[in-house]
């Protein structure tokens, strides 16, 4: 996360669907990718026998995502730590495979909401740097950070950078508030960290292992993490909140404490994308919010993507 201590006027809460335009998998897709396309983990010290036991348990759990599965493995007296470690590596391995193929500079912007948002703010990109926009993400991937880095670099600095310009640019981009509440796939080469840093889109076993150690599995009984506390702070100061590509999982909404963390007087509107959400599910989502602000919650009921919702509601400039 950035070191910016300002609080944003607009907060984006990002679920797996917010990276789907880059072919990152949704929760269920990642679940089946790991079951069906698991690469051997001998290099990480896990033998086929151990991996197969993990895959069998994951498959027969019939849970909606691997994250949900890993939250429950502490109950497995004999397999808990091993399954947690295998699961983290499996997640990192699959996401690195996607990252390696990702093209952030898509030829068509039809479904690239990163590009659409940048088109709205590039003339006043200081809004990002000053923390007027913030991002709370439930995703592990670093595509958003890398997109902003490239966009600011090549629109404001050009191709060739002096050492001083590079240092300045790195510092600016890291001021953008991006909170990964469940951890992230390591650190990029331009980010400040004393941990292993890496190039976006490059897959090595060392990068996969280092990234797997940054993935956080939060169990229901765990205390609220520092990242979730920061997320709650941002929600409490926001004028507008956007839930984009978000699944409205009950546990995630509870950890954000949307019922209490959102300021009743300050908040103006809450927008959200929904895909294939039924009437009962819609009502349940609304009931997650405090009764005093439910009339400010506007969930898209037309099964549209992120860009149509932003086009209808976003007023940054």
State mean pLDDT over 273-287.
89
Model confidence pLDDT, tens digit, residues 154-206: 998 888 888 899 899 999 999 999 999 999 999 999 987 777 789 899 999 99
Confidence band (pLDDT; 50, 70, 90) for 80? confident
Higher pLDDT, 249 or 196: 249
Share of the chain above pLDDT 90, in %: 54
CATH of 1-24+108-182+217-317, one of 1.10.150, 3.40.1010, 3.40.50, 3.30.70: 3.40.50
Residue 89 pLDDT: 95
Closest CA to 301 of 315, 290, 289, 285: 285
Does the pLDDT value for residue 249 go beyond 80? Answer: yes
The four Cα atoms 249, 208, 214, 118 give a dihedral, to 10 degrees, of -70
- Compute the Cα dihedral for 302, 303, 304, 309 and give only its sign: positive
Three state DSSP letters for 34-103:
HHHCCCCCHHHCCCHHHHHHHHHHHHHHCCCCHHHHHHHHHHCCCCHHHHHHHHHHHHHHHHHHHHHHCC
Does the pLDDT value for residue 41 go beyond 60? Answer: yes
Q: Could you tell me the pTM of the whole model?
A: 0.92
| Mean pLDDT, all residues of the chain | 88
Name the residue with tokens 């405090």.
Answer: 290
Higher pLDDT, 219 or 312: 312
State mean pLDDT over 28-47.
87
Confidence band (pLDDT; 50, 70, 90) for 278? confident
Does the pLDDT value for residue 3 go beyond 50? Answer: no
């Amino acid at each position: 996360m950035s070191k910016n201590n300002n609080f944003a006027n607009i907060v984006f809460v990002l679920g797996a669907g917010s990276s789907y335009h880059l072919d990152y998998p949704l929760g269920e897709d990642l679940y089946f990718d790991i079951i069906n396309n698991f690469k051997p983990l001998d290099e990480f010290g896990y033998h086929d026998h151990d991996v197969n036991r993990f895959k069998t348990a994951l498959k027969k759990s019939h849970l909606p995502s691997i994250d949900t599965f890993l939250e429950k493995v502490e109950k497995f007296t004999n397999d808990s730590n091993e399954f947690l470690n295998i699961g983290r590596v499996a997640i990192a391995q699959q996401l690195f495979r996607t990252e390696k193929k990702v093209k952030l500079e898509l030829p068509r912007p039809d479904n690239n909401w990163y590009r659409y948002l940048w088109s709205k703010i590039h003339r006043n990109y200081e809004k990002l740097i000053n923390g007027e926009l913030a991002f709370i993400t439930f995703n592990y991937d670093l595509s958003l950070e890398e997109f902003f880095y490239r966009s600011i670099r090549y629109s404001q600095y050009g191709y060739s950078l002096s050492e001083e310009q590079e240092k300045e640019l790195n510092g600016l981009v890291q001021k953008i508030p991006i909170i990964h509440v469940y951890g992230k796939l390591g650190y990029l080469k331009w980010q400040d960290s004393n941990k292993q840093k890496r190039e976006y889109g490059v897959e090595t076993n060392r990068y996969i292992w280092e990234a797997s150690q940054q993935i956080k599995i939060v169990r229901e009984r765990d205390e609220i993490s520092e990242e979730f506390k920061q997320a709650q702070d941002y929600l409490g100061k926001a004028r507008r909140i956007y839930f984009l590509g978000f699944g409205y999982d009950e546990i995630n909404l509870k950890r954000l404490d949307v019922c209490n963390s959102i300021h009743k007087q300050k908040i103006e509107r809450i927008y959200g994308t929904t895909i294939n959400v039924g009437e009962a599910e819609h009502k349940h989502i609304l009931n997650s919010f405090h009764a005093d602000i439910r009339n400010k919650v506007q969930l898209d009921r037309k099964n549209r993507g992120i860009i149509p919702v932003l086009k209808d509601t976003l007023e940054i400039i």
